[in-house]
Amino acid sequence: MVVQALKDQGVDVVFGYPGGAVLPIYDEVFQQNGIQHILVRHEQGAVHAAEGYARSTGKPGVVLVTSGPGATNAVTGLTDALLDSIPIVVLTGQVPTFMIGSDAFQEADTVGITRPCTKHNWLVKDTAKLSAIIHEAFHVATAGRPGPVLVDIPKDVQFASAIYTPPQKVRTGHYQPQVKGDLDAITELVAALETAKRPVFYTGGGVINSGPAASQLLRELVDATGIPITSTLMGLGAYPASGKHWLGMLGMHGLYEANMAMHDCDLMINIGARFDDRITGRLDAFSPGSKKAHIDIDPSSINKVIKADIPIVGDIAHVLEDLLKVWKSRGRKVNAEAIAKWNARIDEWRKVDCLSFKQDGPTIKPQHALARLEALTKGHDRYITTEVGQHQMWAAQYLGFEDPNRWMTSGGLGTMGYGFPASIGVQMAHRDALVINVAGEASWLMNMQEMGTAIQFRLPVKQFILNNERLGMVRQWQELLHGERYSHSWSEALPDFVKLAEAFGAKGIRCSDPADLDDAIMEMINYDGPVIFDCLVEKHENCFPMIPSGEPHNKMLLGEASTKDAIGSKGAVMV
Amino acid sequence: MSALNIKKGSNKHSAYNLRPNFSDIEESHTLAVIVDNEAGVLARVIGLFSGRGYNIDSLTVAEIDHEGHTSRITIVTTGTPQVIEQIKAQLGRIVPVHRVRDLTVEGRAVERELALLKVNGEGEKRVEALRLADIFRANVVDSTLDSFTFEITGTSEKIGAFADLMRPLGLSDLARTGIAALPRGA
């Protein structure tokens, strides 16, 4: 029944790990061909893989794990998906209903534990309701602001039989979030947009989640109005990085021109972003002179952190469609003269060239490694995942994304260990694509067991590890804020990544010389199979630009100029 | 000295202490939340309050429609206007929540609470307790030779005042239901 329900929901891949309490479902999985099951090596990996699958396809990712430890191991992935609004359906086994509450073997209060980290969850006590609940779960996961859901299925409920309810017959009840935006508010926004002198679009993951149509409409709007656009970490790719009006990412490690534009704008149009603390910095000095419009499908996002002058609740694609219609019907007006001046001012900021770096000396700079990766993979059908830390920010800065759903990173929760399993999920959905996980050595080790999965299912994922033998971002904060006391932020006893790759049956490549870098990257790209690329980089490189905590957008540290001599010279850096 | 031109050992150790100063006048609001009467729904509502650091001053819950499987949760909460709006939006996000009504915003609601008070005493104190109960229109629902149990209905303030008067007269146990509320008018 479970397998039938999944098939009717269009599921073709399930990521999972068997155990006692899900054996009846695994028995069903064994006796069919429609759904492929990917055996992961740890349940956390299953959820992240499902997230990678979901983010790169727009379809919900599905996970099947057992009770107790199976469920608790999935908690990090669920929380990650909740914070980044990723549709995931997790099916967990549970001890039989008559044993619930008896501290049975591998029993855990799964719905209790996962209540705060799912959008909704269900404990199914009656087989007759099982199929309807699974269909409802898919509806809840994907409707409105997407998110993870969990269905906990006791073993006796799995064994019993009942009449199957097809998805068409399931009442999805009252859960029907509003998708159309209020026309009056949209008209108000159009009026503001027509006269704004220094407008900026600030877009987020909501544009990606809304689907490809939203990105198309956004591009049309930006290109027709000539208004500059920046995006959060989660929204990269909605507007192409090569686009004329692209400012680059904003926020704590965002680009100078993007943050300055946010600070000095007079109209901020937030499209599917949530004023996260990594974006806003110091709130009382956040974009002080601007009128703020906020389009979001989740009413609780509006006025949560920043007061919106023009709040619009609705799905991005629907709202943008209406917005364009209203704007066109009113004569496609913008304050072109002022916007031209505004763009000229932004061009001045661009000249600061905040991402510039100098690749000199015998060590590879991480920025250089990513710039070369970008240059050599640009033309490919490419998907990028990342772990969490400095490498993640550098990847966001130095890699360009032309399309949505090509960039998978753990933004809200910041989960180290996300990227590798996510790359497996992405590769499952796009078998012929080039899938690269940009990683730090410390993050990567957190879920390295998934190497077995990549090998078993012949998934040629490329693990591009920027190895600085440090928890780079932690080290950077310790340098800036904790008097250079580097408490436990270095990686000792690291494995030999080349030998590790070989031990799993994959290819290992090590590169430490800038002169060898291009050849090594090409070797990685051209190898037909999983690769661990151990790129030994400068150990004390800091990630800039950076807005230090408690500072507004116009107080950025640009780094390079002031730190070029200090960082890396033994006298200044106490290790 | 750092080459980065920011002070070492700065006390801004976290990026999280960035709460703005919104209006900080706290208001008390009575919210009525209509929910599906299903397992765990109360935990979802309470978990939202504890997880996000909101206050619950009073909470009442009971099934109101057996056929329709719905319950009514009445919550009295305090917070700044911005926090109250957040609470309502967050409650509205919970899947089994049908409707969230802010009775304080909709106009003055009828709010009532029921309490049971056990008062132990003899002689003049016992007579005085009975006399005050009469003034407050509290009923005696149980009695022994040296105790009364009173039942009183009214606003929270009235119950508070009655309890304060009973304290010196031998109040030994107090049970309050929390507020039930409905909007005035049709």
CB contact under 8 A, A481 and B2: no
At B4, the pLDDT band (50, 70, 90 cuts) reads very low
Question: Looking at CA atoms only, how far is residue B179 from chain A in angstroms?
Answer: 26
| CB-CB neighbors (< 8 A) of A303 in chain B | 82, 85-86
- Contacts of residue A548 in chain B, CB cutoff 8 Å? 6, 10, 12
DSSP B102: E
Instruction: Note whether B89 contacts A252, CB cutoff 8 Å.
Output: no
Q: Cβ of B89 and A299 within 8 Å?
A: yes
Which residue among A115, A174, A281 places its CB closest to the CB of B43?
Answer: A115
Q: What are the catalytic residues of A?
A: 43, 105-106, 155, 473
Considering the four listed CATH numbers 2.40.10.10, 3.40.640.10, 3.40.50.1220, 3.40.50.300, the one that applies to the domain covering A183-350 is 3.40.50.1220
Which residues have CB under 8 Å from A154's CB, separation 6+?
A21, A93, A94, A95, A96, A97, A100, A123, A124, A125
Chain A contact present for B90, CB below 8 A: yes
User: Are A281 and B13 inside 8 Å of each other by CB?
Assistant: no
A-chain residues near B22 (CB < 8 A): 307
Mean pLDDT of B76-95: 94
Task: Please tell me if residue A498 touches chain B, with a CB cutoff of 8 Å.
Answer: no
**Quick check: A484 and B8 CB within 8 A?**
yes
- Please give the share of chain B, as a percent, with pLDDT higher than 70: 88
Question: Which residues of chain A lie closer than 8 angstroms to B15, CB-CB?
Answer: 252, 277-278, 281, 549-550
- CB-CB under 8 Å, B15 with A252: yes
Shortest alpha-carbon distance between residue B34 and chain A (Å): 12
Assigned CATH for B109-183: 3.30.70.1150
CA pair distance A426, A124, nearest whole angstrom:
30
Q: With an 8 Å Cβ cutoff, are A115 and B44 in contact?
A: yes
Give A352-407 pLDDT, tens digit per residue: 999 999 999 999 999 999 999 999 999 999 999 999 999 999 999 999 999 999 99
Size of interface A-B (CB pairs under 8 A): 92
Task: Tell the CATH topology of A366-543.
Answer: Rossmann fold (3.40.50)
Confidence at residue A17, expressed as pLDDT on a 0 to 100 scale: 98
**DSSP per-residue letters across A60-120:** PEEEEE-STHHHHHTHHHHHHHHHTT--EEEEEEE--GGGTTS--TT---HHHHHGGGSSE
Contact A557 B21 (CB under 8 A): no
Phi then psi for B16, rounded to 5 degrees? -95, -15
Cα–Cα nearest to A338, from A250, A219, A191, A225:
A225
Q: Do B3 and A562 touch (CB under 8 A)?
A: yes
Joined together, the tokens standing for residue B87 give 């609470």
> Which residue in the set B20, B51, B89 is minimally distant from A300, CB to CB?
B89
pLDDT at position B41 over 70: yes
Distance to chain B for A175, nearest Cα, Å: 6
Domain at B27-102: CATH architecture:
2-Layer Sandwich (3.30)
CB-CB neighbors (< 8 A) of B98 in chain A: 174
Residues of B in Cβ contact (< 8 Å) with A175: 95
Mutation target among A119, A549, A574 for the B interface, most CBs of B within 10 A: A549
Residue-level pLDDT at A571: 29
Tokens, residue A463? 């693990």
Partners of B17 on chain A (C-beta within 8 Å) are 550
Looking at chain B, the domain(s) classified CATH 3.30.70.1150 span 109-183
In chain B, whose CA is at the least distance from the CA of A144?
Answer: B93
**Is some CB atom of chain A closer than 8 A to the CB atom of B1?**
no
Q: What is the pTM of this model?
A: 0.92
A441 in Cβ contact with A463 (< 8 Å): no
Shortest Cα distance, chain A CAs vs residue B186, angstroms: 25
Is some CB atom of chain A closer than 8 A to the CB atom of B23?
no
Tell me the shortest Cα–Cα distance from B67 to chain A, in angstroms: 15
- Determine the Cα–Cα distance for residues A36 and B152; give it in Å rounded to an integer: 64
Asked if residue B57 has pLDDT above 90, the reply is yes
Judged by a CB distance cut-off of 8 A, whether residue A289 touches chain B is: no
Q: At what angle do helices A366-377 and A517-526 cross, to 10 degrees?
A: 50
pLDDT digits (tens, 9 = 90+) for A39-77: 999 999 999 999 999 999 999 999 999 999 999 999 999
- Chain B contacts in chain A segment 85-144 (CB below 8 A): 111-112, 115-116, 119-120, 123, 140
ipTM summary value: 0.88
CATH 3.30.70.260 domain extents, chain B: 27-102
Specify the CATH superfamily of domain A2-169: Thiamin diphosphate (ThDP)-binding fold, Pyr/PP domains (3.40.50.970)
Strands A229-231, A120-123: pairing kind: unpaired
Q: Edge-to-edge strands of the sheet including A434-440?
A: A407-408, A382-386, A434-440, A462-467, A531-536, A507-511
Record: contact A549-B20, CB cut-off 8 A: no
Q: Are the beta carbons of B89 and A559 separated by less than 8 Å? A: no
Residue B50 burial (C-beta neighbours within 10 Å; 0-12, 13-18, 19+): exposed
Which residues lie closer than 8 Å to B163 by C-beta, 6 or more apart? Answer: B115, B117, B171, B174
Q: List B14's β-bridge partners, or say none.
A: none
- Residue B110 to chain A, least CA–CA distance (Å): 28
B3 to A549: CB separation less than 8 angstroms, yes or no: no
Q: Which of A252, A276, A477, A481 is the best mutation test for B, with the most CBs of B within 10 A?
A: A481
**Contact at CB, B86 and A300, closer than 8 angstroms:** yes
Cα four-point dihedral sign A399, A400, A406, A412: positive
How, if at all, do strands A434-440 and A382-386 pair? parallel
Which of B4, B86, B98 is opposite residue A562, by nearest beta carbon? B4
Give the gap in angstroms from C-alpha A450 to the nearest C-alpha of chain B. 33
User: Which residues of A are less than 8 Å from B90 in CB distance?
Assistant: 300
Q: What is the pLDDT along chain A (575 residues), one digit of tens a residue?
A: 999 999 999 999 999 999 999 999 999 999 999 999 999 999 999 999 999 999 999 999 999 999 999 999 999 999 999 999 999 999 999 999 999 999 999 999 999 999 999 999 999 999 999 999 999 999 999 999 999 999 999 999 999 999 999 998 888 777 888 999 999 999 999 999 999 999 999 999 999 999 999 999 999 999 999 999 999 999 999 999 999 999 999 999 999 999 999 999 999 999 999 999 899 988 889 999 999 999 999 999 999 999 999 999 999 999 999 999 999 999 999 999 999 999 999 999 999 999 999 999 999 999 999 999 999 999 999 999 999 999 999 999 999 999 999 999 999 999 999 999 999 999 999 999 999 999 999 999 999 999 999 999 999 999 999 999 999 999 999 988 888 999 999 988 999 999 999 999 999 999 999 999 999 999 999 999 999 999 999 999 999 999 887 788 888 888 754 443 333 333 232 22
Of B5, B16, B95, the CB nearest to A562: B5
A282 touches chain B (CB under 8 A): yes
Residue B146, both tokens = 């040296």
What is the pLDDT confidence band of residue B5, given thresholds at 50, 70 and 90? very low
For B4, the token pair is 């980065």
CA separation, residue A128 to residues A7, A165, A256, A388 (Å)? 18, 8, 58, 43
Domain boundaries, chain A: 2-169, 183-350, 366-543
- Beta-carbon contacts of residue A218 (< 8 Å; ≥ 6 apart): A201, A203, A207, A229, A238, A239, A271, A316, A320
3-state class of A271 per DSSP?
A: strand
A contact test, residue of B5, B42, B80, B95 with most A CBs within 10 A? B95
Contact with chain A for residue B51, Cβ under 8 A = yes
Q: Computed from CA positions of residues A181, A182, A187, A192, in that sequence, does the dihedral angle turn out positive or negative?
A: negative
* Pairwise CA distance, residues A187 & A330, whole Å: 10
Strands A531-536 and B27-36: unpaired
Spatial strand order in the sheet of A229-231:
A246-249, A229-231, A199-203, A267-271, A291-296, A310-313
